[in-house]
Structures are given as structure tokens and as C-alpha cells.
Structure 1
Amino acid sequence: MVDVSIIIVNYNTRDLLRNCIESILKNTIHINYEIIVVDNASKDDSIAMLKTEFKQVKLIESKVNGGFAYANNLGIKKSKGRYVFLLNSDTIILKDVLEKMIAYMDENKDIGLLGPKILNGDRTHQTSISAFPTFKREVYHIYKLKNVLKIPFVKSFFVRFGGKLGSKDLEQYMKNFQSIESPEKVQVLVGAALLIRKEVIDDIGMLDERYFMYYEEIDFCYQAHKAGWHRVYYPYGEIVHLIGQSSEKIGDITFYERYRSMILYFRKNYGRSKEILVRINLIIALILRVIGMSFIQIFKSSKIIKENRKVYIKTIMMAVNKKAIATNRY
């Protein structure tokens, strides 16, 4: 019997993928597992590398880049494990994390999803949990109000008293800055490394493929929550996630898709009235950014500012068009 099916979605990440698979083979010993790599129509040598170096890996070659949910579902359909482990290609498995997580899930049948502690490349803590989106949180995000947490005394205050202010989403968010030493129930687990009980998928279905990127794991956690499955953060297991470095230039597709997925999430889970509110909020915020950038361009010409402004305008047009959340294929 296969204990866990490890599903890795790849898109032009050959070297990262190699390191990820090598870490699995090195650090996963005492359980039966299969590795399924779903390639999202990569243009690098990922497929050739897999066929040459990792013949034991089950390879699914998608003809289109259908996004994270679409590709993971292809892997889930072929999986044979009691559990499914969704794993980003830019991750590194540490020690016996999978053995520990599966043992814990076997002992706690009411837990549907389990997420490990996620670390940056320098082994500092990375965001591992989150809260279900609310309109208020989206306002905080789009206007970058959470930047106040960069002020040390403000951050310390909310870390200490966030759970006592009556805001559940604030309490959940601030958990990322607290030292959680034992497994704890949370609302949302990050999809970079997510262990799912197969019965959950049988119960609520697979990931919603209308999300090209972003919000797919948030939506999945929400559907699991509605069905009564607990989501638990498991700090005894660690995985390194090598996310990209910050840049002044925003990603065209990633920015656009982040907010397209946001609109879809609110339409699906909270109805058209909340969807309209988040659309209006997004449009106003981005118009203000475009105006600000246009003003800066008068005094300081910048290619990055010009490109970012185009991305904002494109996203505004998406937010205005109520039909613009149809699934994309790249």
C-alpha cells in the first residue's frame, strides 16, 4: 500500500525540481511513497532531466500550462496513496518530515489537512498559515496597511494582543509571528507543502481549476472547513521553501491572477454583493496607484514604473469586466 502520493507541479524549474526530488529520496525512508511530477508544458529541459535521472518518478506531461490547481488535479487522479502531499518544486524536504506528518495524521482521524513549518533558505521562519479572506483583510492588503507591522513596537503589540482584540483574521495572521511549539488548529495552510487525507478529496472534491494561481489552497481549506475537516499546523516537521527574491518590478501574470482569483473567491463563497465590494475596492486602489506613478513619471522617468503601471491598468480592466474570471490557459 502506498502511504503518500507526493505531487509536484513543475513549470520551467529544472534545477529546483532536481534538488526537491533528491531531498525526498534522501530524507523519506520508512514509508511507502510515490512521486508524481506534473509538468505544465515547460520549455526548459525539465522533462528530459526527469526521464534521464529519475526513472522512478511518474511523469504527467500536460499539453497546456493550466495552473497550479489544474496540474495538481491531474496528479491526484493518478495517485494511489492514502494521503496526497502537494509540494512546490522550489522546496527542500528536511529529515523525516513526511514520516512524522503521516504518523500524526494516522493518530488523529479528524484532521483533514496538515501543514509543516516552512522555512526560508536561510532557515528563518516563512509564512506557513493564514486566515480565510475577508473584505477588511483585502482592504489592508491592497492599501499595504500591513506595512505598519514593520514598526517594531506595533508588531510586538499585535503579536501579544492580536487574539484579544476580537478579530479572528488578525489573530490568525499574527500566528505567523508567534512561536508555535505544538500542533495547532488553524484556518488556512500554505499550499507549498500540504498533506491531505484522501477522504477529504473524496468528500469535497479536488482543487477548483478556475483558480490559475493563488487562492486555490485557501478555497480548498474553506471547503474542508465547511465539511468539518480540521486543518492543523504541525511545527515538528520542517520544509525549506525557496521563494523568489523581492523586486521593485511586479510580475504581470502573477499580479493579475492574484486579484482575478480574489474576485473569484468572493463570488464563489460570499456572493455577488461581496464580490462587487472587492471589485470596487481594487479599482479605486489601483487607480490611485496609477495616478501616483504618473505623477512620479513627470519628474523621474523609469521603465519599471511604466511597466508596473501597465500591469495595474490591465488589472483594473479585469476588475471592471464581470466576465473576466474565466479560467486562463497560458
Structure 2
Amino acid sequence: MTPAEPMTPAVSVVMVTYQTRELTRRALTGLLGTPSAVPYEVIVVDNASTDGSAEAIRAEFPAVRVVRLARNVGFGRAVNVGAERAHGRWVLLVNPDTEPVGDVIAELVRFASANPEHGIYTGRTLRPDGTDDGHSVFGLPGLWSYACFAVGLSTLFRRSRLVNPEELPGLSRSTAATVPAVSGCLLLVERALFAELGGFAPEYFMYSEDIDLCVRAARRGARPALVPTARLLHVGGGASTSGGKRVMVLRGKVTYLRSHWSVPRAAAGRALLATGVAARAAGARLTGRAGYWREVWHRRAEWLAGWPPPEHLPAVRLVTPHPTDAPTT
């Protein structure tokens, strides 16, 4: 089944793109070319790309609704724009650097319909060789996990449940399970729940917004779930350099600490993160390897501040709406 006629979709697929024209075209070709047992619509939110992404998508995929933003407002706020225009019972987030393996939409919806108490769902994200990349589910950060990062244990012993709890190395990805948090790369959520939560928290430009959403949903009784039969091939890293990506990841982590931890605990968490980055930067200087850590350390004032709070953010503005963005009635 191809994207549904207006007003009939069960699922609204929301894809955010920024300077990823070819990746997005490939992702949409794979998604729309894979028959689904569930009616769905596709909404692409373009974060002010300058590579012609919006124009190319509109020309090549007329069934896709394209929303073009006047400036890059980050992943979470762009998703919120797409979700506001969704008609499905479910909102499904899919990254533009992915390709479906089978009917990923139907697999998620079948599980969610049979297990509605979870509220939020993900599948498995795979490397090109078909193995699980381990990045679709997460444990929640804590002082212990940050202490292990600070002294390097989580890097040296990545397969250890004890010292690398955030990556959930002991969790079987082949069995359905309740998990602490899921990745926004592949995330199915009831639209009503997403709206009740206010969508993604606007202060997260990128990274940790998905963990924040899961924590807030859990307070309302949700139990995020892994659905092993729903699979995506994940190319990864389509829009970030190594050093720049790590800076953004750390800004997301610090924003999460600011949002969810007490002031003393958050200060301890930042100190442990800084210690871990400093140690890696020193190691990079000595060995000449992984030089991006030196860049991350040099930019520590930037990421230790986290992302700006909501009151400092500019308003979200759309480029003059295109007919395909007009809400259906």
C-alpha cells in the first residue's frame, strides 16, 4: 500500500532533512517503494537546506507533503512542525539516512496495537552488513555512567553492562523488550501522547531530545518498547563531522542534566563529562589519533553551557507555504 489518501492514514511518517538531499531521496525511494499493509502519509520538514532538498523532493515525490522552514531550528522543533500537520493516529519518525528492511511501518503498528500500554516504540537499526548497530535503544544517563566515561571504562569495556549501562550492551535486540529510552532515528508514538507531552522539548537543538521525551512519557505511564521485527538500515552521520557531532551530543547531554537533575547533581555530571573529554583530548595529543577530541575540548565552554533555553530561541517560521503543505480538510 502506498501513502494514503488525505484523512485516511493510520500513520504519519515525519522525516526531517537538512543538507541531505541525496540521502533523503534514497530514503523516500526505499520507503515509498516498499509495500505496506498500513495506510500512511509522509511529511518531510526541510530545515532551511541550501542543497535543493525541498525542490527535489517536491518534484520527485508528489505524494509527499513538504514543509520548508525559513531557518534551521534543529531536529526536535522540526519534528514538532511535522507532527502538527499529521493526520494519523500514530506519528513515526524516520531519519533520512535510513532504508526500510521489510514493512517497518506495519511491524511497528501491529506491535503497538497489540501492546498500547507502551506508548512509544522503536525497532532495530542495522549496519550495512545487517548486524544491529545497537543505537536504537538507550539506558538513562546517571552519575555512575558518567564516572565510567570520565575514567575511560565505558570506552575500554563497551560490552560490559556494568561500566557501559547507557548503551545497554547486555540487551538482546532479537526479543521484544521494555527499554528506558528509544532513538528518534526510528520512533513510533501515539499522536495524542506526543501532543499531550508538548512534542519534543524545544531547547534540544539536536541529541538527547528523544531520551527527554521518553522520560517525560514514562512519568505519564508509558513504557518505551523495542520491536525487533521492525528494522531499518542506518547509514548514519549524514549531517555531522566527528568533532562537530560530539560537541552537539555533549550539548544535548548537558541540556538533559539541566532539565532533569538537581543543580548539585548536574554540576557533578558536567564535571565528569569534562574530565572524560579532557582525558581523551590528552590521549589524542600524545598518540596523534582521534584528534577530534582536541577540538571538542577546545570548544568545552560551548557544550558545557548546553543548548539555549526556550526563551532565547527564535520563533519557527515557514517559507511561503507550498500547495502540498496546505492542510487537508
What TM-score, normalized to structure 1? 0.83
Larger helix proportion of the pair: 1
Question: Quick check: 1:201 aligned with 2:194?
Answer: yes
Question: Quick check: 1:140 aligned with 2:133?
Answer: no
Question: Quick check: 1:122 aligned with 2:129?
Answer: yes
Question: Quick check: 1:22 aligned with 2:15?
Answer: no
Report the Cα distance in structure 1 between the residues aligned to 2:37 and 2:275, rounded to whole angstroms: 54
TM-superposed deviation, 1:291: 4.6
Question: Quick check: 1:312 aligned with 2:308?
Answer: no
Question: Quick check: 1:280 aligned with 2:271?
Answer: yes
Report the Cα distance in structure 2 between the residues aligned to 1:323 and 1:104, rounded to whole angstroms: 36
Query: How much is the aligned-residue C-alpha RMSD, in angstroms?
Result: 2.7
**1:88-127 residue pairs with structure 2 within 5 A?**
88-127=95-134
Structure 2 residue runs without a partner (length 5+): 1-7, 315-329
In structure 2, give the amino acid aligned to 1:115.
Answer: T
Give SS of 1:137's match.
helix
Report the Cα distance in structure 2 between the residues aligned to 1:100 and 1:294, rounded to whole angstroms: 47
Report the Cα distance in structure 2 between the residues aligned to 1:192 and 1:212, rounded to whole angstroms: 15
Report the Cα distance in structure 2 between the residues aligned to 1:104 and 1:291, rounded to whole angstroms: 47
The question of whether the paired residues in 2 share the 8 Å contact of 1:129 and 1:175 is answered with no
In structure 2, give the amino acid aligned to 1:268.
Answer: S
Report the Cα distance in structure 1 between the residues aligned to 2:188 and 2:43, rounded to whole angstroms: 14
Equivalent of residue 213 in structure 1, options 193, 206, 214: 206
**1:35-74 residue pairs with structure 2 within 5 A?**
35-74=42-81
Report the Cα distance in structure 2 between the residues aligned to 1:236 and 1:216, rounded to whole angstroms: 25
For residues 256-313 of structure 1, the C-alpha deviation after alignment (integer angstroms, 9 at most, x for no partner) is 22112211111211121111112222333334444555566xxx7x9x84x6524312
For residues 40-92 of structure 1, the C-alpha deviation after alignment (integer angstroms, 9 at most, x for no partner) is 11111212211210111110101111111011111011111100001100010
TM-superposed deviation, 1:99: 1.1
Equivalent position of 1:183 in the other structure: 176
Aligned residues: 303
Equivalent position of 1:250 in the other structure: 242
In structure 1, give the amino acid aligned to 2:63.
Answer: Q
Report the Cα distance in structure 1 between the residues aligned to 2:26 and 2:111, rounded to whole angstroms: 26
Structure 1 residue runs without a partner (length 5+): none
The question of whether the paired residues in 2 share the 8 Å contact of 1:267 and 1:274 is answered with no
Alpha carbons of structure 1 residues 271 and 101: separation in structure 2 relative to 1, 3 Å: same
Report the Cα distance in structure 2 between the residues aligned to 1:196 and 1:139, rounded to whole angstroms: 32
Equivalent of residue 262 in structure 1, options 241, 253, 256: 253
In structure 1, give the amino acid aligned to 2:39.
Answer: N
The question of whether the paired residues in 1 share the 8 Å contact of 2:214 and 2:224 is answered with yes
Give SS of 2:169's match.
helix
Give SS of 2:168's match.
helix
In structure 2, give the amino acid aligned to 1:6.
Answer: V
The question of whether the paired residues in 2 share the 8 Å contact of 1:28 and 1:99 is answered with no
Equivalent position of 1:170 in the other structure: 165
The question of whether the paired residues in 1 share the 8 Å contact of 2:93 and 2:185 is answered with yes
Question: Quick check: 1:83 aligned with 2:83?
Answer: no
Equivalent position of 2:319 in the other structure: none
The percentage of aligned residue pairs carrying the same residue is: 25
Alpha carbons of structure 1 residues 277 and 195: separation in structure 2 relative to 1, 3 Å: same
TM-superposed deviation, 1:225: 0.9
Report the Cα distance in structure 2 between the residues aligned to 1:15 and 1:276, rounded to whole angstroms: 41
The question of whether the paired residues in 1 share the 8 Å contact of 2:140 and 2:166 is answered with no
The question of whether the paired residues in 1 share the 8 Å contact of 2:250 and 2:306 is answered with no
Report the Cα distance in structure 1 between the residues aligned to 2:123 and 2:84, rounded to whole angstroms: 24
